[in-house]
Chains A and B, each alone.
Chain A
Amino acid sequence: MNCSPNIVITGLGAVSGAGLKIDSIWDAILHGRSAVSSISQWDARRWPIRVAAEVKGVDNRTLVEDRKLHKLISRTDLFGLYAADVAIQQSGLLAHRETLDAGATACFNDRSGVFAGSGGGVYRSNYDFFPALTTAAGNMETFGREFSAVVNPMWLLKNLPNNVLCHVGIRYNFKGTNACVTNQCVGGVMAVAEAAAAIRAGEADRAVAIGHDSPIEPETVFNYHRLGLLAQDAVRPFDRDRTGTVFGEGAAAVVFEQAAEAQARRAAILGEFLGSGCATEATGILDVRSDGDGLSRAIDFALMDAGVSPGAVGMIVAHGNGTRASDASEARAIRRVFGEAPPPVTGFKWVYGHLIAASGVIDLALALTALRQQIVPGIPTLNSLDPDLSPFPVSSAPQKPRGDIALVLCRGFAGMNVALVVRASATMAGG
């Protein structure tokens, strides 16, 4: 494995209810300002679940300048394109490309990959067919005659799960290897892992990976609630009184490059990607194993892939979604790998909610800030650690990372578990 290129991070972008910049989201975390508040997208005042971490008061044009594009994409895509743009601009890759001649530019484009993790299906997009259903009144022949009068001809394109992949390609003329992962919560982190793996395998020289989602809609909230997965007020990871998760929405993006190339063009290096691991528990759509089997195997794979021992991990950003089963098994998985004294653990869903397909990617972006600042932020919604999980190094107060490496965990439906390992750049220069 030693002959593979090192992979560095030269661009990061994020948008969530807690802010449109990583710095502002970090600020919200440090000051305990949660973005969880009343749902505004529909009248939820009488709903059993009335809160989410929405991106509020942001004009669509702030997210994506090109108004014509708004007609061709959906809300989740706006977030994804915004985060990708922030990350790509920060990387300076476009300015670098300007300096290349025509042949080198074509090669640059063909060697630039795009990897998206997309929430995929949304329910509200189907409501565009409601007027036709009303007219048809149960008669399929009428429906077949009427739908084209009421539905946007571009309906399918507006709702493609791979829209962000497609439009990032078109906007920046990136034409290399690509994927759109629609693996629910772990879609974004798997896009990140595949982007890094593509560079390692020599399939691309650079790649942008994006996770994006907008799960806050009536049917999703209603059904998650029916399944007992949502809390009524706040996400309280690992807390004795945790009752579930809270939806958020948004996106995050990462630009990866070969270290040698990034150094040659004197790019600012924000971190290094060390490895990833992935395993399913084969438990079906909703269930998780109580012993943390899949997550502990994913962590083992990731550490092996990164070539680091458990003792070298300085901090852990847990999935910590606040549900009874997931948090309990997550704590067990962490102890299975790290023994009785794991490094400091935190989780960020209390601040920006659960971004589903974007969840682990935004956690990764903030983990790098945490490493740089040498602060493992506290979890203000944690009142009292679940005694069944004790001892476990989570705290409502800030902790200090043990080292310059972070482990980021992400879990989802289909018994999915993914672990990512990253290192902050500041220490790279010295080491």
Chain B
Amino acid sequence: MRMTKRRRAAITGIGMVTPVGNDAPTTWANLLAGRSGIATIGGFDAQGFPVQIGAEVKNFNVEDSVRDRKLLKFASRSTRFALAAAEEALRDAGIRPDPQTGHRWACSVGAGMMGVTFRDLQTVHAFCGIDEEFNAAGLLDRKFPADPITFCRSQTNAGLALLTRHFGIRGYATAVHTACASGGQALGTALKVMRRGLADFVLAGGYDSMLNPIGLSAFCLLGALSTDNEAPALASRPFDATRNGFVLGEGAGFLVLEEWESAQARGARIYAELAGDGNSLSSYRITDSHPSGDGPIQSMQQGLTDAGIAPEGVDYVNAHGTSTLMNDRSECAALRVVMGKHIERVAVSSTKSCMGHLIAGAGAVEAAVCALAIRDGIAPVNANLVQPDPACEVNIVRDKSRPMQIHSALSNSLGFGGSNSSLVFRHPEDVPTR
């Protein structure tokens, strides 16, 4: 059918700001060592909350990498993570947009849903919310500290605006949000944009920070979080029989994708190929996944078909593995259907065991993890697995990271609202069959 050869996407740059490290090398080293980034929340006083633990980004200073003060005024906490991770990814790739090439660069991001900070909300509350009813006239009070910058910062595409401006990206640009699948879907979109020929380079990633009083409350209300306040480092234990919820994290992951042949031509170091994207809707319930794995089954199958890789070709799966009762079971059921007998051999781990759940950032950070796993030939450990859940019987990377040749890796991101993203990565020396 295809008249021209399909364009391929090379991953040539990686940047991360995560609860286990403010750059990619530190994050990767800590994930391999199984070190937890989860602790008692320090960013605000969470003592009164039912959940007092989180996976915070620590000692982060955006000005270490991005020095544009004027721009940073418009950047929320999560956008700052994004700017720093994107800068690292571009530096790592050794190529960046310039006035001549900016229009051939695209930007695709999975952005979090929270723009308003708790402090902003407190201000509006002080002027409009003291009475039972919302008093809109409070905004018109002469003393109301109206700051258009605060408003700009809260726009859904503010992060995209600052990234494209700061780095001079002038092509296709998009911000997507499908809850916990956002980062994966942003990378899937990036791959499609590359294949469609709309760009030769894509800066793609995801970022989020819901570790604030409102974000924490929202997940507490749903009963989705682990309440193991006394043992934070052990709280996220995907696939363990005693798991009791996920741990809320924050951070950003960014990749530089380059058209394969031009990346090779310039002698770029290629971590891996982003080889396939599978994307489905569970259409079951808003928060729950179907116990049979329906939904993720299709996204994984599509991703593999798209990459031209048989299930037997997959060596490593970076699972969504949130550490909630429902997700881990349903995801394993899906994996068993997709992998068949091969399920015994494919190594599975959830790096959320160390860095918590980065929500809209998760899929992008975990894509970076897959690329590094392929480069270094090692599957990162699924920490805190002591007593495997019999309903999650898959070949989990227990106790320590597992050195192994990884030809192909798969990363799942399964979101509230039923969006499922499965990304497939191929070793740069392997030749695609499709």
Tell me the A residues contacting B by CB distance below 8 Å: 1-3, 42-44, 46-47, 72, 109-110, 114, 118-121, 123-124, 126-127, 129-131, 133-134, 140-148, 151-157, 159-163, 165-166, 169-170, 173-184, 187, 190, 194, 197, 201-203, 218-219, 222-223, 226-227, 278-286, 294, 297, 301, 412-416
Q: Check A176 against B218 for contact (C-beta < 8 Å).
A: no
Chain A residues with Cβ below 8 Å from B2 are 3
Total number of A-B contacts with CB less than 8 angstroms? 284
Q: A130-B129, A194-B192 are in contact. List 8 more A-B contacts (CB 8 A).
A: A126-B124, A133-B121, A155-B221, A166-B419, A170-B418, A182-B156, A202-B1, A218-B136
> A148 and B169 in contact (CB under 8 A), knowing A177-B279, A190-B174, A285-B152?
no
Q: Check A175 against B282 for contact (C-beta < 8 Å).
A: yes
Q: Check A156 against B161 for contact (C-beta < 8 Å).
A: no
Q: Which of B48, B185, B221, B286 is the one whose CB lies under 8 Å from A143?
A: B48
Q: Check A297 against B103 for contact (C-beta < 8 Å).
A: yes
CA separation between A283 and B167, bound complex, in Å?
Answer: 11
Chain A residues with Cβ below 8 Å from B136 are 42-44, 47, 218
CA separation between A129 and B284, bound complex, in Å?
Answer: 29
Chain A residues with Cβ below 8 Å from B69 are none
> A141 and B48 in contact (CB under 8 A), knowing A3-B2, A124-B134, A153-B222?
yes
How many Å from the CB of A116 to the closest CB on chain B?
9
Give 9 nearest A-B pairs by CB, closest first: A144-B48, A166-B417, A414-B161, A141-B48, A120-B156, A130-B129, A144-B49, A169-B283, A223-B151
How many Å from the CB of B69 to the closest CB on chain A?
14
Q: Which of A159, A283, A416 is the one whose CB lies under 8 Å from B113?
A: A159
Q: Check A280 against B173 for contact (C-beta < 8 Å).
A: yes
Chain A residues with Cβ below 8 Å from B140 are 46-47, 222
Interface presence of B154 (CB below 8 A): yes
Interface presence of B337 (CB below 8 A): no
Residue of A nearest to B114 (CB): A121
Chain A residues with Cβ below 8 Å from B195 are 201
How many Å from the CB of A212 to the closest CB on chain B?
13
Q: Check B158 against A141 for contact (C-beta < 8 Å).
A: no
Q: Check B121 against A282 for contact (C-beta < 8 Å).
A: no
Return 13 A-B CB contacts under 8 Å, by A number.
A43-B137, A133-B122, A144-B49, A155-B218, A162-B178, A165-B281, A166-B416, A175-B281, A175-B282, A175-B295, A180-B178, A285-B155, A415-B161
Residue of B nearest to A412 (CB): B157
CA separation between A165 and B298, bound complex, in Å?
Answer: 17
> A183 and B174 in contact (CB under 8 A), knowing A162-B417, A284-B74, A413-B157?
yes
The dominant DSSP class at the A interface is: mixed
Interface presence of B171 (CB below 8 A): yes
Q: Quick check: which of B39-47, B80-88, B261-269, B316-324 contacts chain A, the rest being far away? A: B39-47
User: Which of A120, A126, A179, A202 is most buried by chain B, counting CB atoms within 10 A of its CB?
Assistant: A179
Q: Check A280 against B419 for contact (C-beta < 8 Å).
A: no
Contact with A along B356-378 (1 / 0, CB 8 A): 00000000000000000000000
How many Å from the CB of A247 to the closest CB on chain B?
14
Which residues of chain B from 281 to 339 have any CB-CB distance to chain A below 8 Å in the complex?
281-287, 295, 298, 302
Chain B residues with Cβ below 8 Å from A126 are 116, 121, 124, 214
Chain A residues with Cβ below 8 Å from B281 are 114, 165-166, 169, 174-176, 178
Q: Check B214 against A278 for contact (C-beta < 8 Å).
A: no
> A414 and B189 in contact (CB under 8 A), knowing A134-B130, A147-B217, A162-B417?
no
> A178 and B161 in contact (CB under 8 A), knowing A163-B417, A294-B170?
no
Chain A residues with Cβ below 8 Å from B121 are 126, 129, 133
CA separation between A414 and B195, bound complex, in Å?
Answer: 24
How many Å from the CB of B399 to the closest CB on chain A?
35
Interface presence of B107 (CB below 8 A): yes
Q: Which of B111, B164, B280 is the one whose CB lies under 8 Å from A182?
A: B111
Contact with A along B157-187 (1 / 0, CB 8 A): 1101110110111111111111100000100
CA separation between A140 and B213, bound complex, in Å?
Answer: 8
Q: Check B418 against A120 for contact (C-beta < 8 Å).
A: no
CA separation between A153 and B71, bound complex, in Å?
Answer: 37
CA separation between A181 and B178, bound complex, in Å?
Answer: 8
CA separation between A197 and B134, bound complex, in Å?
Answer: 43
Q: Check A174 against B139 for contact (C-beta < 8 Å).
A: no
Q: Check A182 against B175 for contact (C-beta < 8 Å).
A: yes
> A218 and B139 in contact (CB under 8 A), knowing A120-B177, A123-B116, A127-B134?
yes
Q: Check B185 against A280 for contact (C-beta < 8 Å).
A: no
How many Å from the CB of A368 to the closest CB on chain B?
24
CA separation between A203 and B285, bound complex, in Å?
Answer: 24
Q: Which of A47, A144, A301, A416 is the one whose CB lies under 8 Å from B47?
A: A144
Q: Check A184 against B157 for contact (C-beta < 8 Å).
A: yes
CA separation between A203 and B192, bound complex, in Å?
Answer: 10
User: Which of B140, B154, B156, B281 is most buried by chain A, counting CB atoms within 10 A of its CB?
Assistant: B281
How many Å from the CB of B245 to the closest CB on chain A?
14
Q: Check B156 against A279 for contact (C-beta < 8 Å).
A: no
> A140 and B45 in contact (CB under 8 A), knowing A72-B286, A148-B221?
yes
Q: Check B164 against A280 for contact (C-beta < 8 Å).
A: yes
How many Å from the CB of A201 to the closest CB on chain B?
7
Interface presence of B402 (CB below 8 A): no
Q: Check A278 against B172 for contact (C-beta < 8 Å).
A: yes
Interface presence of B3 (CB below 8 A): yes
How many Å from the CB of A231 to the closest CB on chain B?
18
Q: Check A280 against B134 for contact (C-beta < 8 Å).
A: no
Q: Check B279 against A226 for contact (C-beta < 8 Å).
A: no
CA separation between A43 and B285, bound complex, in Å?
Answer: 38
> A157 and B287 in contact (CB under 8 A), knowing A120-B113, A126-B121?
yes
Chain A residues with Cβ below 8 Å from B302 are 177, 203
Residue of B nearest to A201 (CB): B192
Chain B residues with Cβ below 8 Å from A218 are 128, 134, 136, 139
CA separation between A282 and B156, bound complex, in Å?
Answer: 16
Interface presence of B146 (CB below 8 A): yes
Residue of B nearest to A73 (CB): B286
Chain A residues with Cβ below 8 Å from B71 are 284
CA separation between A280 and B168, bound complex, in Å?
Answer: 10
CA separation between A129 and B121, bound complex, in Å?
Answer: 9
Chain A residues with Cβ below 8 Å from B286 are 72, 157, 160, 163, 166, 170
Q: Check B155 against A413 for contact (C-beta < 8 Å).
A: yes
Interface presence of B390 (CB below 8 A): no
Q: Check B125 against A134 for contact (C-beta < 8 Å).
A: yes
How many Å from the CB of B54 to the closest CB on chain A?
13
Residue of B nearest to A110 (CB): B298
Chain B residues with Cβ below 8 Å from A147 are 217, 220-221
Q: Check B162 against A197 for contact (C-beta < 8 Å).
A: no
Interface presence of B388 (CB below 8 A): no
CA separation between A114 and B280, bound complex, in Å?
Answer: 9
Chain B residues with Cβ below 8 Å from A414 are 157-158, 160-161, 164, 173, 175
User: Which of B48, B154, B220 is most buried by chain A, counting CB atoms within 10 A of its CB?
Assistant: B48
Residue of A nearest to B144 (CB): A222
Q: Check B174 against A227 for contact (C-beta < 8 Å).
A: no
Q: Which of A133, A177, A286 is the one whose CB lies under 8 Å from B129?
A: A133
CA separation between A190 and B302, bound complex, in Å?
Answer: 23
CA separation between A140 and B125, bound complex, in Å?
Answer: 14
Q: Check A46 against B221 for contact (C-beta < 8 Å).
A: no
Residue of A nearest to B125 (CB): A133
Chain B residues with Cβ below 8 Å from A110 are 280, 298
CA separation between A301 and B172, bound complex, in Å?
Answer: 10
CA separation between A124 and B284, bound complex, in Å?
Answer: 28
Q: Check A179 against B213 for contact (C-beta < 8 Å).
A: no
Chain A residues with Cβ below 8 Å from B223 are 153
